[in-house]
A and B are shown apart, each in its own frame.
Chain A
Amino acid sequence: MPIEFPKDKFPGSVRTVTLGATAASGGSRAFTVTVGGEKNLPFLHFESTPPHPAVLAVEIKDSRPGDWSPMLMAAWGEAANDPVSWAKAVEALGVRLLVLALSPVDEAGKPATPAKAVQTVKSILAATGMPLVVFGPGQADLDNELLVAISEASKGERLALGICEDSNYRTIVATAMANGHVVCARTPMDVNLSKQLNILISDMGMGSDSILMDPSTAAVGYGIEYGYSVMERLRLAALQGDAMTQAPIIVTPGFEAWKTKEAKVGGPESGVPAAWGDWAGRAVAWETLTAVSLLEAGADILVVRHPETVRRVQQTIDALMTVPSLV
């Protein structure tokens, strides 16, 4: 007798958010990227196929980073000397979403200025066709200063601006609303905090089609289980109909994995245990396995750093999006 498959039927679904705008809709992007819309838990095709695959985004900096792992710098080579050539190298991999992470100071150690940040964004937009996510340096005042200028100068491009936190969301949300952008709302690994920030942002009048949420995560070995479970709980709450948990989820496995010792340190002089294995392989594995685990937990956008991770995780997304035969 055939088994009756136990299927979940949820009343709610994840909101759909589109990043980037083409010329037809007031921007200059070659294409747009849409995420969200899931009606069930990740990749369970026997219930329903996700309307949009999870999207890989690659993070670049506005100047050649001095504190990134040598493995990453070797992978990007000279392209990373300049944000425009770096962005082009990312696009050449077939990546469909770019994340520009701004630094608090420039290469010469001078504080970042709105004019310079705007110029960087403008030149990346001019040189590439990918929709763009811009993260501020992570210092509330400076973030506001830079992101407002970028938001205004890129009106209509439908950037995603981040990072909105409890302390600084007002300014970023206001400028995103005024200029047609999306915001990334980040909270520290707690379902209720995620909900609360979404409520605060929604209360300002931001549409649910313009909010991404980053519930924070951590790399394998550094607390991934907390982020993993928060993501699963948020997704279940969203599907059960809680509107304030229905934003698509953006996570940063690249940032998390590449600050671990496992990714940053290696080689014969480093003194790391032999049981850690080959450095290059380990570093990419750390980022890839962090990303894949978060994908299984419901990530809609995964921000990574290494070209090989891009290849592996994209392959995994493609494979998971393939409808299997269960008969």
Chain B
Amino acid sequence: MPLSGIQIYKLLPMTNCKECGFPTCLAFAMKLAAKQVELAACPYVSETSKAQLAESAAPPVRLVTLKSTSQEFATGNEVVLFRHEKTFYRRPGLFIRLRDDEPVEQLKAKAAQAEKYAVAYVGMDLKVDGLALESVSGNPAAFAAAVKAVRETCQRPLVLVSQDPAVLASGLDALDANERPLLCGANASNWEALANLAKARKSPLAVSAANLDALAELTEKIKGKGVEDLVLNPNGKSPSEALAHNTLIRRLAIKKNFRALGFPILAFTGGEKVDALDEAIAAAQGITKYAGIIIIDHFQPEVIYPLLVLRQNIYTDPQKPIQVNPGLYDINSPGPESPVLVTTNFSITYFSVANEVEGSGAKAWLLVVDAEGMSVLTAWAAGKFDAERIGKSLKTFKVDEKVTRKRLVLPGHVAVLSGEVEETCPGWEIRVGPREAVDIPAFMKNVL
């Protein structure tokens, strides 16, 4: 049974030395109980306490980190089965698979594409996390050459894919000694050699087996060799199999504290006769259902973009909805004659409105009022979106310096505010827009 924060606290030094990064031992104990930190952060805990706490203190899904010389990717430390229960913490990695039998120039070009790719979403630049380089040749020298080639153009963390310890060792030798690529991977026949290699190079190791029983047995054996940073490759043959594997692994880890499968999950989405969209479908399932690292064959922006966005969405903390910054946004290069549309800073509201205005092609200013991240109706009902706040935003963001024709368009849902806004904002012509964002283009065209 997991220990409570108070039970854990009694096993700690109770000196409040702060070296763990928390103000008190009790605060640290609470974080341990929530499985959000590792006991290793406490330098003074006694060996006896350590043993007692080990079971309780470790997160149910181990945090595994892949490193290049300049970047890290970490996966694991998840604590729930459903995002609404708390949140999903670590976005699953998207790694692009390359093969060592591709011409060197092609490898370099593909690696460079992965390195450079970035797509803007909600004010963020979304990127892929790394490359998975697979040995198809089975030749250690060819693998090392391919590793060197991709490292010329891409500095992201790597997954090295081969079952042959000599090939993986050769790949590791081609990298900086400080790199910690994921070695993929160990199976029933090669696990000993790969465990030794992973231990010697301090690298995480992916493990696959015929079924979950065999997988759990294998991880225990490998842990016995002193390798703790493992990733599970349950190797599902179909979407329903992958869903069952991932669900069972996550349930066993979270609900049963089952250590043998308490690791992040790896998924390969490619294969023969699998095109970019099929892969994206498999990857979307991985994103929603518990994958920690997703290895994709097709690096095509038209599917990578929605996948990166979906990943961002599913891993958004439900307790902290993303808000946009209040302010005056320009859409389609507006001028002093363009209308000023008002909305709130709830992300969905903002993006629905901005998207529709942008899509309409009409020039407009969008005044985003700080409504504490609520939608128009919710904010209005809660008193967070009223004439006073709208008037204040007009002043704060100096809207009257941008426009000569002072037209302010309120969302249709708050038509009731127009009288008050007229009083609060003298000199402005108040108009009432549509209730739904989808009707904005017609409104802009026909009414404004």
Q: How far is the CA of A278 from the CA of B117 in the complex (A)?
A: 15
Shortest Cβ gap from B172 to chain A (Å) = 32
**Would you call A225 and B313 a contact (CB within 8 A)?**
yes
Closest chain A residue, CB of each to CB of B245: A326
A35 vs chain B, min Cβ distance (A): 19
Query: In this assembly, does B314 line the interface, its C-beta being within 8 Å of a C-beta of chain A?
Result: yes
Given contacts A221-B121, A277-B302, A281-B277, contact A3 B213 (CB under 8 A): yes
Q: Can you list, as one digit per residue, whether each of B236-271 has a CB less than 8 Å from chain A (1) or not (0)?
A: 111111011101100110011010010000000000
Whether the pair A46, B248 counts as a contact (CB closer than 8 A) is: yes
CB distance from B61 to the nearest CB of A (A): 15
Residue of A nearest to B377 (CB): A188
- State which of A12-20, A21-29, A171-179, A312-320 sits at the interface with chain B: A312-320
Q: Is the CB–CB distance between A229 and B301 below 8 Å?
A: no
- Least CB distance from A231 to B in Å reads 10
Binary flags per residue of A115-142, CB closer than 8 Å to B gives 1, else 0: 0000000000000000000000000000
Q: Is the CB of B226 closer than 8 A to any CB of chain A?
A: no
Chain A interface residue count, CB cutoff 8 Å, equals: 60
Does A282 lie within 8 Å of B359, measured CB to CB? no
**Inside 8 A of B307's CB, which chain A residues have their CB?**
289
- Which of A5, A261, A319, A320 is packed against the most chain B CB atoms within 10 Å? A319
Chain A residues within 8 Å of B352, by CB: 222
Which residues of chain A from 16 to 65 have any CB-CB distance to chain B below 8 Å in the complex? Answer: 41, 43-46
Give Cα A282 to B302, complex, Å: 4
The answer to the question of B399 belonging to the interface, with a C-beta cut-off of 8 Å to chain A, is no
Task: Enumerate chain A residues within 8 angstroms of B355, measured Cβ to Cβ.
Answer: 222, 260-261
Cβ-based interface call for B31 (8 A): no
Known contacts A3-B212, A282-B302: A43-B240 contact under CB 8 Å: yes
| B41 touches A (CB below 8 Å) | no
CB-CB under 8 A from A169, the residues of chain B are: none
Query: CA–CA, A51 to B408, complex, Å?
Result: 54
Contact B314 A322 (CB under 8 A): no
Q: Do B244 and A276 touch (CB < 8 A)?
A: no
Chain B residues with CB below 8 A from A282, complex form: 301-303, 305-306
Q: How far is the CB of A315 from chain B (nearest CB, A)?
A: 8
CB-CB < 8 A to B240: which residues of A?
Answer: 43, 45, 319-324
Segment 305-356 of B: residues with Cβ below 8 Å from A: 305-307, 309-310, 313-314, 316, 318, 347-348, 351-352, 355
Q: Is the CB of B310 within 8 A of A326?
A: no
Interface hits, B72-103 → A, CB 8 Å = 82-84
| CB-defined contacts of A278 to chain B, threshold 8 Å | 300-302
**Min CB–CB distance B181 → chain A (angstroms):** 26
Shortest Cβ distance from A309 into B: residue: B277
What is the CA–CA distance of A261 and B351 in the complex, to the nearest angstrom? 10
- Name B283's closest neighbour in chain A (CB-CB): A289
**Are B301 and A228 interface neighbours, CB within 8 A?**
no
Contact across chains for A228 and B120 when beta carbons are under 8 A apart: no
**One of B133-141, B284-292, B389-397, B425-433 contacting the partner:** B284-292
Establish whether residues A316 and B239, one from each chain, have CB atoms under 8 Å apart when the complex forms: yes
With contact pairs A222-B351, A282-B305 given, residues A324 and B244 touching in the complex (Cβ less than 8 Å): yes
Tell me the number of A-to-B contacts counted with CB atoms below 8 Å: 171
Q: Once the chains bind, are A223 and B348 in contact (CB under 8 Å)?
A: yes
Task: Collect the chain B residues with CB atoms within 8 Å of residue A285's CB.
Answer: 277, 280, 302-303, 306
Q: Which residues of A contact B241 (CB under 8 A)?
A: 324-326
CA separation between A43 and B244, bound complex, in Å? 8
| Bound CA–CA A284/B276 (angstroms) | 12
Q: Say if the beta carbon of B190 comes within 8 Å of chain A.
A: no
The answer on a CB contact under 8 Å between B301 and A288 is no
Q: Which of A86-94, A145-153, A292-300 forms contacts with chain B?
A: A292-300
CB distance from A297 to the nearest CB of B (A): 7
Residues of A near B302 (CB, < 8 A) are: 276-279, 281-282, 285
Q: Which residues of B contact A264 (CB under 8 A)?
A: 359
Contact flags (1/0) for B103-134 with A, using CB distance below 8 Å? 00000000000000111110000000000000
**Which residues of chain A from 259 to 293 have any CB-CB distance to chain B below 8 Å in the complex?**
259-262, 264-265, 273-279, 281-282, 284-286, 288-289, 292-293
Taking a contact as CB atoms under 8 Å apart, the answer to whether B305 and A218 are in contact is: no
Interface residues as binary, B196-212 with A (CB distance below 8 Å gives 1, 0 otherwise): 00000000000000011
B64 within 8 A of A: no
Contact of B303 among A41, A233, A277, A297 (CB under 8 A): A277
Closest to B251 in A: A6
Q: Are A228 and B288 in contact (CB under 8 A)?
A: yes
Q: Check B306–A274 contact: CB distance below 8 A.
A: no
- Write 22 A-B pairs (CB below 8 A) sorted by A numbering: A3-B212, A221-B310, A221-B313, A222-B348, A222-B355, A223-B313, A223-B347, A229-B84, A232-B84, A236-B82, A261-B358, A261-B359, A273-B119, A275-B117, A277-B304, A285-B306, A293-B284, A296-B285, A312-B278, A320-B239, A321-B240, A322-B240
The 9 closest A-B pairs by CB, nearest first: A277-B301, A277-B302, A324-B241, A281-B302, A223-B348, A282-B302, A275-B119, A225-B313, A221-B309
> Given A6-B252, A285-B277, A293-B314, 12 more contacts at CB 8 Å?
A2-B213, A5-B248, A6-B248, A6-B255, A43-B240, A218-B348, A224-B313, A229-B318, A275-B305, A278-B302, A296-B285, A312-B277
